[in-house]
Structure 1
Amino acid sequence: MKRRMLKRTLHFTLALIFVMTAMLSLLPADVAMATTVHDRSNFKFEADYYNYLSPGENFNFTLTVTNKYDQKITITSIFLNKGAAISVKEENGDPYTVFIGEIGIEPDGHKTVLSDHIMQFVGNKYNNTFSLTINYMFENGEIGNTSVEYRIDVKEDENFETDPYTPILQASVAENASVTAGQFSALNITLKNISGAATARNITFTPVYETGSPFIHVTVNGTSIKEIRPRAVDVIKLSVNTDKFVKPGYYPFKFKLTFTNAWGEDFTTEHIVYINVVNNKQDAKLIVRTSSADNVSAEAGKSFSVPVYVVNSGNYFAKDITITVKGLSQDTFMLSSGSSRITFDRINGGSNQKFTLNLLAAKGLKTASYPLSFKVEYTTESGEKVSEEQEIWIPVTGSGDAVNALEILNVGTSMSTVTPSDIFDVSVTIKNNGNTQTEQIKVSADGTDALLPVTQNLFIVSKLGPNESRTLNFRFQPSPDAKRGSVPIVIKVGSVDGSGNNAMISQAVSVFVDAEGGESDPNKNVPKIIVESYAYEPRQVKAGEQFTLHMSFQNTHSSKTIRNIKGSFNVEEKSNETGNVFTPVDSSNTFFIDEIRPKGTYDWTLNLYTIPDAQSKTYTVILSFAYEDEQGNPYTEQEIIGIPVYQPSRFEMSEFMLPSEAYMGDPIYLNFSIYNMGKTDLYNVKMYVEGDFAADPMSSYFGNFTPGYMEWCEINLIPMQIGVNKGKIVVEYETTSGELMTYEKEFAINVLEMPSFDPGFPVDGGFPMDPGMEDGGNGGFIGSVWFYVIIGVVVVGVVVTIILVVRKRRKNKEFEF
């Protein structure tokens, strides 16, 4: 009994283990927060993120980095690989920039560089990996980078491919896909049909032009794709023109795909891929500077001249240029002659203009370098108005100062224009002009708060012999919050203790910082309203009919609410006969929205009527918005959508005038008219005859029919068999949308056998004569009834032949297929 109970208990336990194992096997892997560790020789990366996701789902990503180097490193930026399965959910719209800044990590130390960073899974079960590239810098200025890859486990989408009749197209571009600003560039978009059963056919590409997009013109090279079978891939080849003034970077490229399945159902899908725009050119940028070749210097209390160069370091022209000298005073510099305001009409890219200032240095100036400020105003080729302040530095020898044995021979920079990510060198050459050795010389470089030293900014030269020179090198990088404009770098040289004849001397050089930092720009961080999506019902908008337009508007800002939104609907193109192409039904073309919260949407529906004479094409609709932010600041915005209109064709043919019966071999003349009774042109109109008849002509080509056009047609039919002969006139033509249409009209004629003559039928003299007339003729065929009948038939035949020949010559548009 005990053995039996023990055996049952063992069986129950094994069954329970089996059931639990089976249930656990049904659970998805990594259903909780996962920690992924990449342990390498120089780094250790620990990533915490929820990696079991559905397409489109947001998640938090935390990354901790351990530094295994024997020196401190500073992480400067983190980027996603292009084409990654995730994107960054940030306000700036860049889906690939994860982090830009500075995070220092000591040797054997670790820091969390990303903490609950919000990301979005934009891939699918076929694209579920992403890589992070971490850029870093050592204390000596050397830079490096490393990459680490992560994976997403994709939840099965219950709605995915439930309809086996729906093709699903996935669009992508190569990771290194790029276009060049200001010119047409080739771009290939790969389309993959990820449906398991449905074939996509007649795939048509339509670009979506949005306000602010750098892509200004897109054309398709070649024809539309005929079909993409399930799991198959094809490529759309494009030629893309980009705004020549756009800044380099990644931009969203939006487009629509229109296609059908094997059963003729229509589908339209929207897609976005991110394209790298390369711009090796830049808009006009004016820099005021002096040349070292001019050896500009001044002496306190004396007049001097300063040759000033206005250099356009950009690739495009600047116009309406005004340079105003600022800060002139009796304590520094004053004009000895000339004007403090200089103007130029235009300076082309890569060129410069020169002007000379005649100045007087104040008597009380000490030996040092003093700034001379300018207000620079101009308009770039792109239309941007620029107003900024720049300065140059003038070395001055003070009156009564002792002659210094030390001299700064040259100060130069490796780059004249820098960005916050650039590291540049400043070289300084000093010389001992004395007859004795100079010791303990201090050389420093000060770049103000706008420039951060990458290496030490103070050198001590232990000794410098007579007439000996020494060159020193400093390295700087602009501060992330540096203002845009010229920044001076002051070089100071003197004895460590300030003793002897080596009093402190200084000289300055400046660099232009091209940055977006500093004071906030009122034009930035502006809340924007866009058309997130739109659709119309029915799917084919026909001329002369009503349709419903559904639109969804979105506030793209992540924190600002927009209020008092007034919108209007307008079509630029009008009809010559009936005015606006689209007319609102039971409403106006304006609307009002109280508010849209950050990242919120508002749906708007409008019933429209399409005028009857609208042409078959896509009409551009402009949506204008006027709105306010939370502080009451007014803004305006415009969005553009396209609505394709279909104008039905209307081809007609007149009634046929035909006998009900005819004899075998006898010609039958068929006359009728054909008309274009629609409001759109018909192209490549051609006609041909089918059936039990020989026809002359068998086919004809008429060319194009404008609205209201009529053509008269004549066809000579010859029956080919006895009995009911059937035939039809077939007309083919193309509509304005390229659709091939066919019009057919049938007819039938009962054909009889040609009657035969009775041999005994009297031919000559067989008819009874009136009395007294028996001898009136000579008898025979000439003069008989049949003689005259035959003569009449011949005459009629000749007349008909002449008519046909004349008409044939007139129909010079006809040809035989």
Structure 2
Amino acid sequence: DNIFIRNANSESSSGGGGGGGFDKETIRPNLVIGSKAIPEGNAGSKISIPLTITNMSNYEARNIKITPQLPDGIFVIDQMMLDKTVGSIPAKKADNIVFQFDISRDAKAGTYKVPLTIDYTNVYGVVFPTETVEIYIRISNTNHPPELVVREARSSLREIPEEQDFTVTFEVWNMGTIEAKNVTIELTADSEHFYILDSLTKQYLHELKGLQSKEISYSLKTKKGMQSGTYGITLLMTHDSAEKPATYTMYVNVLGTEEEEEEEKDDIDIITENIITPQEAVLAEHPFTTSFTIKNTGTTSAKGVKVSVESGNTILPRSLNMLNIPEIKPGEAIPVAFSFMATKESESRSYSIKAVIEYRNNDESVRKEQYMGVLIENPEEEEEEEDKTLNTVPKIIISEYSTEPVMVNAGENFTLRMKFLNTNKIKAVQNMKITLVINEGSEETGSVFSPVQSSNTFYIDHLDPGKASEKEMVMYTIPDAKAKTYVVKAIFEYEYEDNDQLKTNNMEDLFGIPVVQPAKLETTEVIVLEPAIVGEPVYLTSEFYNMGKVSLTNLMIKAEGDFDTKESNYFVGNFEMGSSDYYEAPITPLRPGETKGILVFTFEDSAGQAHRIEKEFTVNAMEASPVMNPGFPGGMDPGMMDPGMMDPGMEGMNGSRIPIVPISIGAGVVVLIVVFIIVRKKRKKRKEMMLDEDI
């Protein structure tokens, strides 16, 4: 009853029996490729293309190879083999594959067609003709091209004498998200007034990454014989993809020979420069160092300067967190450095470290703060990390943010752009609400920032693991906002799945928005105290008021024109908000007739930007003439005549010989003295009124 089968073939097919005339090509699988949704990716990042290959036939498919035909200019190819292979797919079964490609940062947004070729065999090794199917992917591009601007410019000297070396430093910032390559920075300064030391006018950078900055410095020297005034120094910035160079002009204040003797005011001003923090992410429990330079830009030595750092409970100092510097001389810069280490409890995110500089300026205590950022990464072993990721709550952070303009003006609208990143590698979040909270403001106007025609809330329906979503909002800054950086709190509320259960989570992140107050210096018309005589001083007067909400610095007033203006300079220095003062100084006409001039007000605002206001005036000067005695022929003074020439009757011509010339000169002197006394009394009275207001 037993049956024996010889030469049995291990390969089988449900598609038919054997036989001498059996055609193996009829055993043809039917493969279908599909996906749940159109894959999406952002330029400059990776895109994942998950595909499901389903065998719809009753025959097994083997040696399956899927090859994508990628469109030009969209992807960065860094793989030798682009195809995916599957050993076999049984009848009525399916298998999954995933393609991953780097999207070019320059890829244009849009939906693209990607043809896929399919090669396969059946169980008998028969190779069937290549089949082609088409899938679609969607590309978005939120990148901004490189754009170079100067975020800050400063001079090593506020007022530069003749034949003096000085340094100008520009903070060149790439406002784009894409790096600028082969950057050329060129300085142009008027060769009539400045020497460029070391003959160095051009500097080169291989690249400047997006949203990063680089300080560029040049050494210059003023030439002899320069007149006092404000002079421009221009920086040209270009890179590979720039159509034309970007330009920025800073202005420096030069003191001519006549102003070098002016007495310097005692002043101490400590600033921070050359801030250096780790450029890459720092691993937890690994030491790192931050450093910066503190410089005294004032005219007086700073004594007893204290520098301390505050890093919180997660970032611990490994060195002393406080330094005492006995003295910093004017113009002296002292480097300081502090060492830290993130604890093992730290999170993978950006942390801020605050440096505090404290000193005394005369009788005033001064405290300045400088924030530094460091990115901490806390990795675990692969298995532990995967288990931990599966059981942890997904975290949302603000990976990037920017404002337009960069320095927000009080009383104006600005655009806030933010990018929210899901740092979890496995879990997605959904129904996310983001609320922006600003605690600072005023009793009259409320919060310092308020949304324009919208609420202070963002909504994101879904955010995949490792993905980011960009949002923007137009906001208004209250007019009486103080000039400083305001801290904004972002509160995240969202849902996520954990063990097939829907859970909720709340978390917060912080960022800062710098606000500046516009400078408002109001001036009256210039009054010329005539009459004006060639070679004699004539006084100019004008009142001026600080109508803004921020103090002005380095306020200087001087007259310009075809006059002798050596005595016309008035240096006010710091001019507090709400203050008023008046200008009164002499100029000397050099020629008769009508001559126009300008009264120039120069100052710096809270952001260090230089301003110049000009008020025009006109002087009508008369030629000085000799005083004549009208009682004598030809107007001659009888004192100038020979006694023998006098007619006996001339002695009684005017009753007696009155000295007309001395009396006329004396009368003119008396008039000048009276005018001078009145002017001085007015000035004294105004000063007393200002003093009473201050008290």
TM-score scaled to structure 1, two decimals?
0.38
TM-score scaled to structure 2, two decimals?
0.44
